[in-house]
Every structure is written in structure tokens, then in C-alpha cells.
Structure 1
Amino acid sequence: MTEQKIKWVCDYCTYENWPSAIKCTMCRAHKSRGPIITEEPYKNSPDLDPSPEWDPPRTESGSSLLICPDSSARPRVRSSSMAEIANKWSCQICTYLNWPRAIRCTQCLCQRPRTSSPTESPQTSGSNAGCRPAVHSPVDTCEEYNDRNRLNTHQQHWTCTACTYQNWPKTTKCVVCDHPKPNNLEAIELAESAEPTPMINEQDRARWRGSCSGGLRRSPPLPKREDNMKMDFQRIELAAGAMSSKEEQEVDFKKLKQIRNRMRKTDWLFLNACAGVVEGDLAAIEAYKSSGGDIARQLTADEVQLLNRSSAFDVGFTLVHLAIRFQRQDMLAILLTEVNQQAAKCIPSMVCPELTEQIRREIAASLHQRKGDFACYFLTDLVTFTLPADIEDLPPAVQEKLFDEVLDRDVQKELEEESPVINWSLELGTRLDSRLYALWNRTAGDCLLDSVLQATWGIYDKDSVLRKTLHDSLHDCSHWFYTRWKEWESWYSQSFGLHFSLREEQWQEDWAFILSLASQPGASLEQTHIFVLAHILRRPIIVYGVKYYKSFRGETLGYTRFQGVYLPLLWEQSFCWKSPIALGYTRGHFSALVAMENDGYDNRGAGANLNTDDDVTVTFLPLVDSERKLLHIHFLSAQEMGNEEQQEKLLREWLDCCVTEGGVLAAMQKSSRRRNHPLVTQMVEKWLDRYRQIRPCASLSDGEEEEDEDE
């Protein structure tokens, strides 16, 4: 009881502290030298001058935590009469009961609600407003002085250009973000051009001030807007304004303002896309690309200065450079694949949606899981998609329209001309009718799975059936695939001179990441997933791909590892088919490489005696590159690795190989319309009928041209 009678009241927040405390428990203000508070109030006690030793708490920048001068900062004798206790006002934000002379809430620093006149005592509000009557206290000269002072100085506040916080006129830096105070001319121009920003409550402002005092300088959270584009622009502007104190002395803020004023909508979309690559925001890249933005655009010095992140952005960088630096493989598929937007794409699966759904159900029904230790899923049907030979019967104009709608011209050009990966042999492409065509494919992260189904069944993996099968096979046979993957990666790193060894925990972490990619729709896949897909198909997969990532200027950005042969080495050879499928890889994107049906190959001698039906179409897929070097075989064990002769022997065991008259080692891909799935044949026929219907129009136009020439 004795200790309770000598509590002292904080002069700043009016909190009653224990006598042994030398600082306020609530706001950490020093104990005043004024008289202490007892249970019996002092009567007619005059106000005392503030103690010279009292020092309010300050932030790191040296500014006081007091936002504006108030009467609670003056130490005086408080009266704890029943009238004063009953006159406590409730905070509108946190409902804390504050003393009547406190102009801000002790808990959240929210400002006290204003009354009709400065001389009236504030009424209680919130949840306790109905149970406490309004009691008026006599006029406080200090309160009247501070109210008048606030009214006089409110118009002189300056607004921070970075976080829009209203600071007092004497402060040289923003209390929230430490942004320097602009000069008067800039302040007037910003005030005239700035849009009206929504009011920020005092509770959020106090939270930002607390985060700044803790050493972390963060920009205040932006209010939600209906226009997401404006929010993205504001994010870039805030990043440009949130600079350290050393950088603030070197940067000319007038120049930054001029740069921002010159920015157009396309420029903001480009900067937002650059920030999206770093933050993993795919929508920002799609927005920039859909607006017609140039993917090869480079960052300028002014744009790098606006982005203000030297560790991520460099002058001359493009979106491709950023995607490679931050290993955004899914974004590379969108950035590095230029789809021909002039011609509307029309593939067989789009023309016949009913048949496409039936084919998807047929694929799901043909998936089975092998019993035993190696419980991998596999397909029971052997299906190979080829373009129908009836295309050659169409008029040249119709053929050109068909190829524009079903092929990816950019991929075809890159694989044939820029880097001779396919169709480099005239013998295979012309005399043996083994020309490969790159089918158009979606640019999503599922391009590998889509290309595999396009090369076999002619459809996309829209329902993620093949992805789910890939994920289940990896998990159920994780030990088998993990052993092959670890041994292959160790050999690969040593063969390129990367002499390092990983701990088992690191190997497990990398393997867990590979497993997680298989379960995420839209996630880009790696070489290990192609190896597993070869086991699901029970047939080899040959990937013809570029060797290097290249920018639009022809610069080499990185090395690709996809090109080569993937064999189902964990199956028995008798359980697999020897007819492979072919895929194309171009700068983060996979495409199905298919051939066109032919009338047989009896008269196309290939250096081997081929006794098959005339209905069977044979496509010769080269197993060597344009320099006649053998393609790499992925995921070989230590016993299977050897020289080229041993690897060629291994290829002959898993594929039907032959050597052409020109000395090219090739694998034979066999397909037959008679043996193909009837649903796929029906889908292709309906798709081809769409172009047969426009044939008379083309013939009529050709006839009219002939008549004009005769005249």
C-alpha cells in the first residue's frame, strides 16, 4: 500500500510507473523531477517547468519521436480526482482509455478525436462512449496554446516525395524513410502535379516509425488501388526513392525527376517486367510482351538508376540476361520464343475438341504401373504422329497456309539455318524423305510434356495427365533414378573440369528440387525428367537442340545440356520399342519434330535390307550432328560409359540403326496409319478436311489468273 501511494506519472504518456523506475515503462522517457503522484490529489498546485535533464527518446536519425508539440510533454502535477478519471477518452483504434490531457493514444499513438472547440474536453468514444457521460474540465492554457500552435504550423508541413509522409518544417529528412527534404521549388511542383493520395492513419505511421528505429528502413505499404499498373509504377518509384544516406548525397534528384517525367507507359512496363524477372512475377513479363514490347530492349543508365538495385540490374541487360542471372527457366521459355502472331495457329487438336478429349481418356486408360521393385508407369500403346501425305495434293497457296498454322516457323528457322541441327543432310532430307517439321507448341512451362504428347498422340497435356505420371514414377522409383542421376552428374562435372564433390545432404537437396518440379504445373523440367519420360513411353527420345543460349545480338549467354539421346536403360530391352521420337530444343522451349508420311521406302536404299509393309513410313533420324560427331547418351552408368565404339554399339542395341550410303548413322522411326490409333487418324482427317474445303476457291483463283494471262 505504501508503494502504491508514491507512483509517479510520466510527463509524456501519463503512464503511472513504480517509484523505483527511472524511465517510463511505456515510452522510455526519463523520470521528471517534478512532484510525485499520491492517492490524495494536490490542490491548487501550480505547473512546473520541465526538467532540464528530461530527454525524449529519439530515432537513429536524431529526430524526436514526438510528432508534434503537445501539452503532455510538459511535466506538471496531475490530479487524479474522480472527475478526471471519469473524463478519460477512449482511442478510436485500440479503445485504450487515455488521460484527458493526452493528445495521442498511449498505446498506438493515434491522435485524439477533435471536439467542436479547443476549450471543450474531449468526449469518450468507441465502445465505452455510451457508459461514460461527457464531463467538461476548465480551460487549460497549455492545451489552448498547443492547439493554436498546431493550427499555425499545419500549413507549413512538407510532403516526402518517396513515402508521402507529412513532416514538420524544421526537419531536414523524412522521419519515416530518411528521404531528404526537397527545396521549395520542387515542393511546389510536386504539390501541383501529385495526385491526391489517401490519408494514412496514425497507427500505420507509428508502425513504420518503429520499424525505422529498429534499423530496417522500409517504404510504407502502399494503399490498394484498382489499377494494378499504377501500383507497379509506384513500386518502381519507391525503389528509386529509397536510397541510403551516402547515395543521397551523390544523386541529383532533379535529374531523377526529369527521368520519371520522360517515362512513357511502355517504359514503365519494361521496368516493371525487369523487376518481375527478379521477383518471379510472370504476369509482368506477359503484360510487357502482350503490349508489343521489344524483348531485346536493353537497360539504359537512367533506367538502372531508377530501379536502384546495382546487384541485379546492369546497363545493357535485357530481360533474357536477367532471367539467366536469376535462373528463371520458365520465363526463358516465354522470352526466348518468338511466336508468329501474324498467323493464327490451328493444330489438329484445336479443330476436334471432342476427339481430343477421347484421346486424353484413352491415354489415361493406357497408363499402367509395373509390378516389382522398379514400379514405374508405362504406356501400353505405341503411337507416332506424322503429317498426312495428302498435304502434298493441296494447292501451293493452301499448303503454305496450312504450314503457317501448324508449324513454328521461328523454331524451324533456328534449328535449320542459325545452327544446323536438323535437316542438315541432303541425303536424309531429300532422297530419303526424312525432313523434320517443328510443330507449334504453347510457350508455357509444360512445353516438354506437350511436345512429347504431340510427337506421339498429336495433342497437348492439357489435363496434366503426363505430368502426374511423371511425378508418381519419380517418387515410386526414386532410388533407381536417383542413383543414375547422381552418378551421371558426378561424371559430367568431372569431364568439364569442375573438380568438386558434394555432401550427401546437398545431393539430397538437389534431388528434392527435381522431384518438386515434376509436381508443379507450369514448372520447367530438366534432363532427368526427359530420362523418366523415356521410361514411361518405353522408347528412346532424341533431342535435337542448340548448344548455347544466345541473345538476340548473337552473344553466348550459357551452355545447354539437352541435346542427345535418352534411352530407357532401367527397363529390359525386350520390354521397350526401338522406334524413337524426336524433340527440338531452342532457347528454353521444346517442340515436337515430326515427319510427313511417304509411300514406302523400297526404292530409297539406305544401306540395309528393309523388309516391311509399304504402308509403314520410315523416318531416318541422324544419331550424329552436322560435324559427324556421335550424339551424347545421357545417364549412362560407369560400366556403360566408354569410347565412341562402345556407345555406338549401345545405340544399335536400343534402336533400329542403319548407315546410309553417305555414311550417316541414323535411327529408323517407323509409323503406320493402319497401326496407328484410330482416334488419332480420325482427328487428323477432320483437321485436313478444313483445308480441303478451301481448295476449290484456290483453284478458281488460279484459273482466273490463267485467263487474265491469256487475254
Structure 2
Amino acid sequence: MSCGPSTSKWVCDYCTYANWPSAVKCTMCRGARPLQEIYRLRDEPSTGPALASGPSEGGGAPPRSPPGDGKWGCRECTYLNWPRALKCLQCCSPRPASSSSLHEHLRPLRIEQSSECSLAAGGLVSAAPPAADKKELKEAENDLRGRVRQQQQPPSQQGAKWLCPVCTYENWPKAGKCVMCCKARSPGGSAVSSPEREPSAAGRDDPPPEDKRTIVRRDRNHQTAAESAANNWDHERRRKQARRKLRKTDWQWLNACAGVVDGDPNPVEAYLSSGGDPARQLSPGEVALLSRPSAFDTGYTLVHLAIRFHREDMLATLLSQIEGSGSGVKRVPSYVAPDLAADIRRHVAATMRVRKGSFLCHFVTEITTFALPAEVEDLPGAVQEQLFDELLDRDAQQQLESEPPVINWSLEVTARLGSRLFPLWNRSSGDCLLDSAMQATWGVFDRDNTLRRALADSLHQGGHLFYPRWKEYEARQARTLDFSLDEGQWEDDWAGLLSLASQPGSSLDQLHVFVLAHVLRRPIIVYGVKYVKSFRGEAIGYARFEGVYLPLLWEPSFCVRSPLALGYTRGHFSALVATEPYSRLAGGVGNLGAVGRDLQVTFLPLVDRDRRPLPVHFLHGEAEVGREEAVLRQWMDVCVAEGGVTVAQQRLHKRPLLVAQMVEEWLNHYRRLAQMTSAPFGRPAPAQDYSSDGGETDDE
């Protein structure tokens, strides 16, 4: 049995390929057959070839072969449904009584050898498809049925969207204006409802009435659609409020906060350069917007975040903006040469050792003293003044030199001996004692906490020797104030000191200065104010840091006799350095001994302005208490000036190579400024050349 194809081909709308009339899709591009061809084939009389077995029983046109998949076409919407579907999946119309479908006219007659054809009801009915084809058809039918059910949930009249008359956008029913063009909704705005089913064609049967389960299911779908519309309206309203809030948010400020936490200095510098306040605090709304409760908290500033996440490089920039003296711009040598400063800190860490024996204390193996270069005096007056403004702590200098002065009070020491002290600017992050000690020796900050770790380890491992001296010294101070402590209180205070030593950023006490003298293997002289004053200038407490701290637990031969000078003002330490060289001495001065003209040495007073000796802390036993002058001469080179001022000699060694390179690079900046101001027709340097480059950018 065979059947020949029709001779009228149809043309594809996509690739213009002429396909056989039995093809449902284009052979070339797999495009769908045009609808007009489908309707034409449906309406035109059957012209298919006759069966080889003979004409039909009715004597009319030969019957058309059933489609290979057995689908039937809906009379209402012409949708092709699967053979087992009793209703149309699109319009829910019942299946017609005739088993013929539109697909019978679209597919060629395919008769296999295993098929058994029989004539029934004026058409050819083929055998059932194989089991594998049935399974595939069932899966495809279930998948299509599920998708159609999701698309066929009709909205209720209350939840029907309304159409915008301007942009024709479908808005949710509770929207007062169009979401797209913001056009207000008209009182008689048309609602977009689901298209109603067209009336059935003449001569066709009406669909049967819906059963109760279908009605209940549709009502439930209507209710779900209404609730979804209401929830969507609330979501849109909250999203608009969030958008308005985000537009008013200072994103530059929030990016700066996130930059501190993430360690990115670029947003911080952008915020500060635009005039942002470094002391600004986070509000509750901004904390909620950042959405990181573990990092941000209400009331936090950039300084709080930098301290919390140990962003030391950013902290220096922020502190210079907040409490820097003068113009607020700081340019210390380690800022100008950050790479060299990092190399210096690594070198200092490599020189740290621990002495074997019962006293396990850390110590440095290389001794150096930092001083201002003599080339500073060769700069012009304006450039020299700018250098001191960007290098020194003017606030600390004013407090130390105000009445009664603590430093530079002796004209003989400052002028004739050339030993004027300058307080270097320092950070205020809680590590000021260690930073000032590192500045006084190497000219850099203790960014890597090298000295703090050595201090904490020495205090823990050598506590059995430090504790008796500390307890005796504190008990002696307590007796002068007529009170005493029990053993439990002594142990609690000692545990607190140990905890402070191991916490970066925490303030330190007198005991830590005493331990630091052992780590550096040299005496430390602290010139400090006697009273801590409030911002109103009122004395609120007694400052006990002023005095001399000697490495009494070492042998004198193991230590260096050249002391360091530090300044203390209201909870803050600063490195006190002089200017080199000190060879401009008019011969011998008083009882200074054999001091040559080229000797690199400066002189540090051991008495205050009233010629009272500075206290020596943590002396122990009758062999040391009451014999302060002899103890000082045992550990330092002490001499008396012509005016009767007792001074200690601070010998200056040759600068290490890294320090010399860092200082030279720092000086070159001010030399260029001097050339610009002294050149013919020179103009003042632009203000941006005086900035501190946003703080240190190295690994500090």
C-alpha cells in the first residue's frame, strides 16, 4: 500500500524554501508552517491520493490517513492536543466526537509493515504506537499540562491589572500611578482582564458545564492571584522607598568605611580629599545599609575602624587630619620613603635576640640614635619653618616648653652646647611609647609591633625578676600616699600590666618603660609634665612618667651608656631629638672633660628647671635607694656644665645606610622647594606639593 504526496508545495516564511505539503516544519530551518496553510488545508476538500486497496465505502473522496502521533485539533482554538486529552489544554473545550484531527491533514500517510490498517467510520485507523513512543508522549503531555496550568490561572476582577493610557503598561491594581511613566491613574482606568472565550461557532456543541472541583480550583486561583498582586504592591512600595533612601545616602562616606575594613586606602583618600570629616560617626541607618554587623557599629568613626582592624597606614593619615598641629599635614621621613622605612623595620626585627640563662629578656644587637641632619640649617627660613611644621608635634612642644618649661629651659645647654630638643610628630593609636622609642633610634614607627612583642615576651618570661622591683617601687609610692595593698590586689595589678603589654594599641605604664630600657639596652630619660590637665587647663591628675629608667637587671658592661630622650604630655609620648653635628663648641665648656671639636655628642639635662634631680625609677634595696647620683654615673656619662647643670652625654653614631638613604630622600623634597622659591622669577610651590601624600603607603 502506498500513497503519493500532493504536488502543491508551501513556502517557508523564514528561508523561502519550498516544502512538501505533508511537512509540518521547514526542512531547511525547522520553522513552523504558516497558519494560512494550516487553515487552508483544513477548509479545503480532501485531495489526498486514494488507497491502493480501493475506494471508500461511501463512494466519496478517499479517507485521509491519521497522523503519526494521533493528536486531535480543538474546534474552538485549533490547538493540537494529545490523544488521551479529554479537554483542550488551552480553552478547556471538550474533545469532539470524531477522532479525526487537524494533524491528519498535515502529515503524510505512514504505514509500516507491522501496522494493521482497517477502515472504520470513513477513515483509516492505524495500530497503537510502540511502548517507547507512548512513554515519550506521556512525559511530554504531563510537562505541557503543568506549564499550561501555570499560565491559565485567570486573575480575579479585584486583582485585575489596569492599563496605562500613555505607555500601555499593565500596572498592579493598587498602584496609584504608572510604574513606567509615573502617569496618575485615571478614575475610570480600564482594567486588563483575561480574554473571554469566543462564542461557539454555529453548528458546534457548547462545552459542558464545569464540575464543582473545577469551580473550587478556579476560585482558589483567583484568591491566590489577588494576594500575589497585593504582596507585589507592597514590595514595589518598599523598593521605591529604598531607592529614595539610597539616592540620599552619602556613598563616598560609606565606601570609605568599607575601605578601612577591607584594607583599601583609595576610597578613604577620596573621601578625605573631597573635604569629608574624618571624625564623622556611623548612624543606625548607615550601619543597617552596610549590612555587616560584625564590622560596623553605631557611633564608629574611621579611626575606630582603623584601630579595630589594625589598619595602621590609614590610621596615621586619619590622625594627622584630626589632631595634627599647624596645617594638619605631616611629612615625616618614613612617609616620604615608605619602602626604605619598611626595610628598616625588617632589619630591626632581624637584630632582636633573646639572651640565654635565667633572665630570658629580648634585646637588640645594633645600637643607633636618630638626630635631625645638619643640612636643615642650610635651608631658607620659610622652607625650614615648613619642614618643622610638617615634622614636629607643635602641640607637644608648646606643652613641654610652656611655664614651667620641661625642655629647653637652659640657655647654656640649648645655645652654647647646641642641644636643643625637638619633639617629633607621632601617632596617637596607643602605641606612642613604642613608636617614639623606634623614632628616637631608627627614625621610623613601630608599625610591625616588633618592640611591643619583645616587650610583652620579656615581661612574661622575666616576670620573676621584674615583679619584685615593681612591687617594691609601687609599695614605696603607696606609703607616701598613706595606703597599702594586699597580695591579691598586687597580683591583679600585675596581671593587668601583662595583659596591656601584649595588646597592640593599648596604653602602657611606667613598668613598660622600665622593661623597654632593657630591650634597647640603654637608659631612657623621660621629660614629662608633672600634672595631667583637662582641655580646660585644669589639673586632673599627677603624671609619674618623668624621670630616668635604667636597665638595672643587665650588667653595665652589656649596655650602652648613651641614653634616649622621650617627652610625655597628657597620655602621649614623643621622641625628643636634637640637630647634628654638635662640633660647634667654643673649646671646652666647664667641667665637660676632654670634649673635642668634632665630637658627635649632645647633652641631656638630669635636673629640672629648679635644679632638682630627676627621679630614678625602680631602684631596689639599700644599695640603690638613696644613692641615685652614684647609680647614674655607673650607667651613663654624667658631667656638669659651666652653669652648674648636670647633664648626660648622648653620643651619636654614624647613621646606618638605610636610615641615611631615607633621610636624604626626605631632605630632597625640601631642597626642591628651596630651589623653586629661590630661582629667578620663581613662584611659591603649589599647595599639593606640601601634602603628606595621604599617609604611609608601605607595608606598615
User: TM-score, normalised to structure 1's length?
Assistant: 0.51
Please give the secondary structure, in 2, of the residue aligned with 1:501: coil
- Could you list the runs of 5+ residues in structure 2 that have no partner in the other structure? 1-240, 243-248, 255-276, 285-295, 306-314, 685-700
Number of the residue aligned with 1:348: 333
Name the count of aligned residue pairs.
397
CA drift at 1:417: 1.6
User: Of 637, 640, 643, which aligns to 1:662?
Assistant: 643
Q: Counterpart in 2 of 1:452?
A: 437
The whole-number CA distance in structure 1 between the counterparts of 2:581 and 2:681 is 27
From 657, 660, 680, give the equivalent of 1:681. Answer: 660
Aligned counterpart in structure 1 of residue 388 of structure 2, from 399, 403, 406? 403
Shift of 1:284: 4.1
- Shift of residue 554 of structure 1? 1.6
Q: CA, structure 1 residues 612+659, in 2 after alignment: closer, same or farther (shift >3 Å)?
A: closer
Provide the secondary structure at the position in 1 that maps to 2:402: helix
Q: Would you say the 8 A contact 1:615–1:672 is kept in 2? A: no
Question: Closer, same or farther in 2 for the Cα pair 1:437/1:339, shift >3 Å?
Answer: same
C-alpha separation in 2, matches of 1:271 and 1:543: 42
Distance 2:558 2:649 in 1: 18
Q: Which amino acid aligns with 1:680?
A: V
**Deviation (angstroms), 1:361:** 1.4
- Find the residue that maps to 1:694 and give its secondary structure: helix
Pairing 1:181-260 to 2, within 5 Å after superposition:
none
| Superposition CA RMSD, Å | 3.7
Shift of 1:286: 4.8
CA–CA distance in structure 2, aligned partners of residues 702 and 586 of structure 1: 44
Q: Distance in 2 between matches of 1:651 and 1:442?
A: 31
1:474 corresponds to which of 443, 459, 463: 459
In the alignment, which residue of structure 1 is the partner of 2:428?
443
Query: SS at the partner of 2:327?
Result: coil
Q: Which amino acid aligns with 1:377?
A: H
Q: Structure 2 CA distance, aligned partners of 1:267 and 1:603?
A: 51
Cα distance in 1 for partners of 2:494, 2:527 equals: 26
8 Å CA contact 1:538, 1:577 repeated in 2 = yes
Q: How far has the Cα of 1:467 moved from its partner?
A: 0.6
Q: Does 1:635 align with 2:618?
A: yes
Pairwise CA distance, 1:480: 0.5
Return the offset for 1:287: 6.5
Determine if contact 1:485/1:528 at 8 Å carries over to the other structure.
yes
> Shift in Å at residue 609 of structure 1?
4.8
Distance apart, 1:365 and its partner CA? 1.2
Deviations 1:655-682 (A, max 9, x none): 1111111111111111033xx3121112
Shift in Å, 1:611: 3.9
Supply the distance in 2 between the matched residues of 1:354 and 1:267 (Cα, whole angstroms): 29
Give the 3-state SS of the residue equivalent to 1:672 in structure 2. coil
Equivalents in 1 of 2:448, 2:466: separation in Å? Answer: 25
The answer to whether the Cα contact below 8 Å between 1:616 and 1:672 also exists between their aligned partners in 2 is: no
2:453 is matched by which residue type in structure 1?
Answer: K
The SS at the match of 1:486 is helix
Q: Which residue of 2 aligns with 1:547?
A: 530
The counterpart of 1:425, out of the listed 410, 413, 416, is 410
Residue number in structure 2 paired with 1:621: 604
Give yes or no for contact 2:459–2:515 (8 Å, CA) kept in 1: yes
Question: Is 1:523–2:522 an aligned residue pair?
Answer: no
Is 1:508 the counterpart of 2:487? The answer is no
Q: Which residue pairs with 1:533 in the alignment?
A: 516
C-alpha contact (below 8 Å) 1:543/1:585 kept by paired residues: yes
Query: Which residue identity is paired with 1:690?
Result: H
CA distance in 2, matches of 1:268, 1:590: 26
Q: 1:332-382: per-residue Cα shift (whole Å, max 9, x none)?
A: x989x9422624101111111121121111101111111111111111111
Distance change >3 Å, CA 509–CA 659, structure 1 → 2: same
2-side partners of 1:457 and 1:602: how far apart? 26
CA distance in structure 2 between the partners assigned to 1:387 and 1:483 by the alignment: 39
Other-structure match for 2:561: 578
Distance across 1 between alignment mates of 2:279 and 2:358: 57
Structural mapping, 1:585-624, within 5 Å? 585-600=568-583, 602-603=585-586, 605-611=588-594, 615-624=598-607
Counterpart CA distance in 2 for 1:523 and 1:701 is: 52
Contact 1:370 1:377 in 2 (8 A): yes
Aligned in 2, Cα 1:434/1:664: closer, same or farther, shift over 3 Å?
same
CA contact (8 A) 1:376 1:473 kept: yes
Deviations along 1:282-309, one digit per CA (max 9) or x if unpaired, are 994756999xxxxxxxxxxxxxxxxxxx
Deviation at residue 650 of structure 1 after TM alignment? 1.2
When Rg is computed on C-alpha atoms for both structures, the one with the higher figure is 2
Residues 67-92 of structure 1, C-alpha deviations (whole Å, 9 max, x = no match): xxxxxxxxxxxxxxxxxxxxxxxxxx
Secondary structure of 1:565's counterpart equals strand
Alpha-carbon deviation of 1:549? Answer: 1.2
What secondary structure, in the 3-state scheme, does the structure 1 residue paired with 2:532 have? strand
Give the deviation of 1:466 after TM superposition: 0.9
Gaps of 5+ in 1: 1-195, 198-224, 231-264, 273-280, 291-329, 706-711
Give 1:363's aligned residue.
Answer: 348
Whole-Å separation in 2 of the counterparts to 1:282 and 1:411: 32
Q: State the AA in 1 paired with 2:546.
A: Q
**Aligned partners of 1:601 and 1:618 also within 8 Å:** no
Deviation at residue 642 of structure 1 after TM alignment? 3.9
Q: Secondary structure, in 3 states, of the residue corresponding to 1:620?
A: strand
Query: Aligned-pair distance for 1:702?
Result: 8.9
Query: Percent same amino acid among aligned pairs?
Result: 52
Indicate conservation of the 8 Å contact 1:607/1:660, yes or no: yes
Deviation at 1:271, TM superposition (A): 13
Give yes or no for contact 1:606–1:658 (8 Å, CA) kept in 2: no
Give the secondary structure class of the aligned counterpart of 1:693: helix
- Opposite residue 484 of structure 2, the aligned amino acid is F
Does the 8 A contact of 2:319 with 2:427 survive in 1? Answer: no
State yes or no: 1:561 paired with 2:544. Answer: yes
Q: Deviations over 1:296-334 (max 9, x none)?
A: xxxxxxxxxxxxxxxxxxxxxxxxxxxxxxxxxx9xx98
Change (3 A) 1:638 1:698: same
Whole-angstrom distance in 1 between the partners of 2:383 and 2:600: 24
Q: 1:267 to 1:532 in 2, by over 3 A?
A: closer
Structure 1 residue 266: Cα displacement: 13
Q: What is the alpha-carbon distance in structure 2 between the residues aligned to residue 366 and residue 476 of structure 1?
A: 19
Residues 667 and 492 of structure 1, relative CA distance in 2, 3 Å threshold: same
Q: Which residue of 1 aligns with 2:634?
A: 653
